[in-house]
Structure 1
Amino acid sequence: MKVVKNEFKSLSIMIAASCLIIFYIDKVIMPVYLVKSIFKVLLFLGVPAAYSVVTGRNLFKGLFSGKSGFLKPAALGVSVYILMIITFYLISGFIDLENIRQILSSNLDVERENFILVALYISIINSLIEEIFFRGIAFIKMKGLAGRAVSYILSAGSFAAYHVAILEGWADSLIVILAIAGLFIAGVFFNFLDEHSNDIKFSYLVHMFANFAINTIGLHMYGMIRLPFL
């Protein structure tokens, strides 16, 4: 029991510290996106890998070995994509895309010329990194140590809090608050998707399609495509 308690404490500190460091990097250092991505890989994958080596408990084991297939997650992902595009239509009047474009340019050095490469990275690779960390470690691995309720709150809460620095200034305060609340709910939903199989294939594919939707809006923002009715 003491070993489990100590492991829960160690993993909780690791998760919280990694999110706080990323928050500091976003708000204070404000590096270009490539540098920020390197920091994220080191914190969300490198630190858990080091923990696995030191403790002998592989935090990555089994995260893709569950019985869930890919067809249902992909179908749900497409549904989420459509829902998010519809939601954007409904709230587009409250979102200043030009302001977001300027923030991406000044803070992260993301421009029209490199956006497609960044978008592909965010959708395919960044989604995987976040799912390994927030669902694979903060939920699936923690559930075995702290129980269902605590792991749900820890995973969804850290996932939402991690995005605060990213979203701040993108829209009106109310929209940002609603977005953070939505991210917490999304985190709970992702946990629910992975709970039965105890792997992250389901949440990863849905997360990837959600990012595809966001990046479709980005393509519209940069004038590479034109969404109808806007």
Structure 2
Amino acid sequence: MNKNQIRQVIVLSVISCVALFYIEQILEVSYVLKTSSKILLFLIVPVLFIKIVLKEKLMESLRLNQIDVKGLQLGIELGILSMIVVITAYVLLQNYIDAEGIILDLQERLNITLETYVFVALYITFGNSLLEEFYFRGFIFLKFYQSGYHWLGYIFSSALFAVYHVAIFATWFSFEIMLLALAGLFIVGFIFCWLNTKSNNFLNSWILHICADIAVVSIGFYLFWTL
């Protein structure tokens, strides 16, 4: 990508994340509508950008036409480690987390119940993680990285990934825990970016993201059952 296309991606991605925050926290639409909006902004729009503006074939642009299975081993190993870290962090910080508030927010704002949470958990683990990795690491970071804008790709992708999550848990945590979560997400985003330079596509970070989400949704099941 040239400098002008880099600027276009930056503006487009910021607008998309702001729009999702507005949809999530201001409009408070149903989970189905929120998910549909994310698919539009994180999948359809960037795919059109790649095809129309960059004039590239999707699979070749994302380096998915030639996959090195051995190159994905690191993603699997770090994925298992991430599950341990997430669960350990919850155990250590659970006294500082408003668990009842989280469940109430899911029930009232998104109409999620224990019964529907099963389907939501599956979507979060495999569908949502794919959207986020395609968008933040495939469409943003790797396109920047492959164009020679290495540090811009690392910093912008990781920062946007962290801030974007504010739309999800804006009412869940205290200010201190929120800052800690944002710092953690930035570091995680940085690691995800670095990990993908080993495979030159976003599959490694997707594997790691799936494993981390398995731990997160498992905690969610625990909260639904016990509260």
Bucket of the pairwise TM-score, normalised by the shorter protein:
over 0.9
| 1:62 matched residue in structure 2 | 62
Q: Which stretch of structure 1 is more off in the superposition, 168-177 or 148-157?
A: 168-177
Query: Structure 1 runs of 4+ off > 4 angstroms?
Result: none
Q: Is the 8 A contact 2:195 2:204 kept in 1?
A: yes
The Cα offsets for residues 148-199 of structure 1, whole Å up to 9 and x where unpaired, read as 1111011001101111121111122111111111111100010010013211
Instruction: Tell me the residue number matched to 2:100.
Output: 98
Alpha carbons 1:48, 1:59 under 8 Å: kept: no
Q: Unaligned stretches of 5+ in structure 2?
A: none
| Aligned pair partner of 2:26 in 25, 28, 31 | 28
Shift of 1:85: 0.5
User: Could you tell me how far apart the structure 1 residues matched to 2:130 and 2:81 are?
Assistant: 19
Q: 1:158 to 1:192 in 2, by over 3 A?
A: same
CA deviation digits over 1:112-161, x for unaligned, max 9? 11001100100111001100000001100112335111110110011011
Moved more, 180-189 or 3-12: 3-12
Q: In the TM superposition, what are the counterparts of 1:177-196 in structure 2 within 5 Å?
A: 177-196=179-198
Please show how residues 130-149 of structure 1 align to structure 2 within 5 Å.
130-145=132-147, 147-149=149-151
Q: TM-score normalized by structure 2? A: 0.92
How far residue 74 of structure 1 moved from its aligned partner, in angstroms, is 1.9
Identity rate, percent? 33
User: Which residue does 1:45 correspond to in 2?
Assistant: 43
Structure-2 residue corresponding to 1:17: 15
Structure 1 residue ranges without an equivalent (≥5): none
Compared CA separation, residues 186 and 28, structure 1 to 2 (3 A): same
1:63/1:132 contact within 8 Å kept = no
Q: Matches of residues 216-227 of structure 1 in structure 2 within 5 Å?
A: 216-223=218-225
TM-score by length of 1: 0.91
Residue in structure 1 matched with residue 160 of structure 2 by the alignment: 158
